[in-house]
Amino acid sequence: MLIYGSEIHSRLLLGTAQYPSPAILSEAIRASGCEIITVSLRRETADGSGAGFWELLRDTGTRILPNTAGCHSVQEAVTTAQMAREVFGTNWIKLEVIGHSDTLQPNVFGLVEAARILCADGFQVFPYTTDDLVVGEKLIEAGCDLLMPWGAPIGSGQGLRNPDALRAMRAHFPDVPLIVDAGIGRPSDAAQAMELGMDAVLLNTAIAQAGDPIGMARAMALAIQAGQAGFVADPMERRDMAVPSTPILGLAELA
């Protein structure tokens, strides 16, 4: 999988918030086999322990994807992205412009505007968006090379609320990397996303708040591998009627 010219082998991206301890976070990252982790600038600097947290993340050997989590305006998101570039030394940015406090649904109007500003400034933007095709087109026009449609609200664990919309996105953007971001709660959700043809899955809460985060990290990695393999194998279409697996022709006729 190519992301902004970089070859990435793992199709699982991890967030780094809400883990029981830094040690468990580190072990979960390694157990997942992920190559990209997201981190909020707020998390890095909020409590004065940013240097230690950054050292822990660097020791995992993964690539850092800073995000603008918690930003509710274009200016706030753009400023946070510019600060993150200075702190983390990367042009990658996961762009969030939140529009609704309860659902954390993206403000797609602000998202497109912020994406246009950041792309023009040399950022390589990972936009957290809805599954709307028109919004996706506007983000591509703004300069984004990939899209990150939500599966369900952040941290809800509801799985894929609208798989038909994600399927439509795959058909509409056949050559654009699509990464499902938010809503994944179980390994089956991750597998379903990959079976729909998504290129990767980004998740956080499902692992961080599991009873066994390290075990869940392994489970999610396996589910994504299985879902990807299933998509490549071209699964059968669903049918309205039963079809016998044993042919009728040649069966004995009893008088």
Q: Catalytic residue numbers?
A: 94
Within 10 Å of residue 243's Cβ, how many Cβ atoms? 6
Strand-pair partners of 233: none
Q: Which residue in the block uniquely carries the two structure tokens 């603008």? A: 68
Per DSSP, the three-state class of 205 is helix
In a 13 Å sphere around the CA of 55, the CA atoms on its Cβ side amount to: 4
In a 13 Å sphere around the CA of 40, the CA atoms on its Cβ side amount to: 15
Per DSSP, the three-state class of 33 is coil
**Interatomic CA distance for residues 116 and 119, integer angstroms:** 5
**Interatomic CA distance for residues 181 and 204, integer angstroms:** 9
Per DSSP, the three-state class of 39 is strand
